A and B are shown apart, each in its own frame.
Chain A
């Protein structure tokens, strides 16, 4: 069984040892090399930050009152860490992501990516996004889709083909690259989604339930990608219901419930502090009480 192979630091480095950025130009070196966990580098600027973020959905008339989906959320994700964003269904995770990606506007508070307000399109230049439900233009092939997104990222023409070859190899879609997406299976469509999220070599990857609906092999592949990205010093921000996976790959987690941030911190510290596993902590935070079995 082939495992996913990310383009390693060796293939990406230019001769002076600096890692090329999304435009092919040199950018400052990112965090440490393979095998390390969370790297302690000097500059810990938050790449993703929210301050007192509130999102209220307006109700329709008296029968449907206003609903506050996110309440006063203050969060910071530092460069190079893998951050798990947890919560039960309806907690406000997707709403928060929608604000970060500019799909909806916050009612109050602020959100920024790399220090730029999320409402500015340039804030999304250095991120990759994989939505929970992956649908792409069915009449395009994988290659055409990636070429289209590469053009939007203003990746130079000469660089585009190399990037596309790299990500298609990474997600194991080289053989099917010229076929239209409408002929792809669900797993293949998910891989196309991952490919388009990585086409611009993002510094921050936002994943919305990346393993949802995948078989065990698919889930393993996603875990491997996250791990590789972490090893390369990329920042990953993802939401998931798979607490076991979160516990394995994440450096820090936050648990959201009914729009409020209940718990935040490093996985190991939370476990020590609360004397329980992440799953037990999760259930405790959301106030779930097991029913007595008869």
Chain B
């Protein structure tokens, strides 16, 4: 575990020393502040559109940070030859991979804390109340979703030759699941066999990332989710992340790194 945490620490340092996070955070803040300055019928209490725009920016930025940070971890180590002095230490490839995953995940978690704090402050400035429990649940589920995406991107970085290809494929797959994952079963029911079974099988196979998207509940001030539901969703996400990580470890073990 010591090695895993050591590598995770380096990944976190990389995130806050690169400019990506700061650029995205400032962009999000600018967009939200500009939208907040728009006057709609002289009413300064309108807040939900602002929450939606802010959360949309947060989701896009967090996915960009997660996927781009993760997609370049192993390839850039190999390309920059920093992998060799690292693996020449008493460190297994599995520990390296788990360290990279943990580092990316924790780094995204820290980024989410910053983003959600900004979101909370923005919402509270108009709503004058702060549903902390709902925000905590939303942030946690968002973080778990990013864990699945990071594990998937890590696996992709070992399979696809170029980081750009991996990044593109990850974005496409994640967007597909978020937008259409919930509806595949409805489409499947309208198809004849055997396409129905194939699509339904695919529906069960994919990680349903849309389960972690509880933005509508936050935007429209729905009551907090039951903790058992949160727990089950978290376990579901962690299971998929573990599956992707195990696959990645198996691939990495056999891979020639030079």
Contacts and interface: CB of A to CB of B under 8 A. Distances in A.
Is A in direct contact with B (CB under 8 Å) within the complex? yes
A100 to B, nearest CB: 9
A263 B85 CA distance: 29
Contacts of A122: 90
Interface in B1-60: 2-3, 6, 9-10, 13-14, 17-18
Contact of B87 (A103, A135, A193, A196): A103
Given A103-B258, A104-B258, A137-B14, A124 B9 contact: no
B18 A139 contact: yes
A152 interface: yes
B88 A136 contact: no
B247 interface: no
Interface in A211-261: none
B243 interface: no
B9 A133 contact: no
Contact of B10 (A129, A131, A137, A196): A137
A154 B4 CA distance: 12
Interface stretch (B64-72, B76-84, B128-136, B205-213): B76-84
B88 A124 contact: yes
Residue among B17, B80, B89 with max Cβ neighbours from chain A (10 Å) = B89
A164 interface: no
Interface in B232-258: 256-258
A98 B256 CA distance: 10
Contacts of A197: 85
Contact of B85 (A123, A140, A196): A196
A102 interface: yes
B91 interface: yes
Contacts of B85: 129-131, 134, 136, 149, 193, 196-197
Nearest to B6: A151
B139 to A, nearest CB: 27
Contacts of A130: 85
How many A residues touch the partner, as a band? 20 to 34
A123 B2 CA distance: 18
A7 to B, nearest CB: 21
Given A103-B258, A151-B6, A136 B82 contact: yes
A124 B82 contact: no
B168 interface: no
A140 B87 contact: no
Contact of B91 (A137, A138, A139, A152): A152
A101 interface: yes
A124 B90 contact: yes
A127 B90 CA distance: 9
A153 interface: yes
A193 B88 CA distance: 12
A125 B90 contact: yes
A287 interface: no
Interface in B78-121: 80-82, 84-85, 87-92
A121 B90 contact: yes
Given A121-B92, A152-B89, A131 B13 contact: no
A138 B17 CA distance: 10
A77 B204 CA distance: 56
Interface in A104-136: 104, 121-125, 127, 129-131, 133-136
A-B interface, 7 closest residue pairs, ranked by CB to CB distance from nearest: A129-B88, A151-B6, A125-B90, A139-B17, A135-B81, A121-B90, A152-B89
25 contacts: A101-B84, A102-B88, A103-B87, A103-B258, A104-B256, A121-B92, A122-B90, A124-B89, A124-B91, A125-B90, A129-B84, A129-B85, A131-B81, A131-B84, A131-B85, A133-B81, A134-B85, A136-B82, A137-B10, A139-B13, A144-B13, A149-B85, A149-B89, A196-B85, A197-B85
Given A102-B88, A148-B6, 12 more contacts: A104-B257, A121-B90, A121-B92, A122-B90, A131-B88, A133-B81, A135-B80, A138-B80, A139-B13, A151-B6, A154-B2, A196-B85
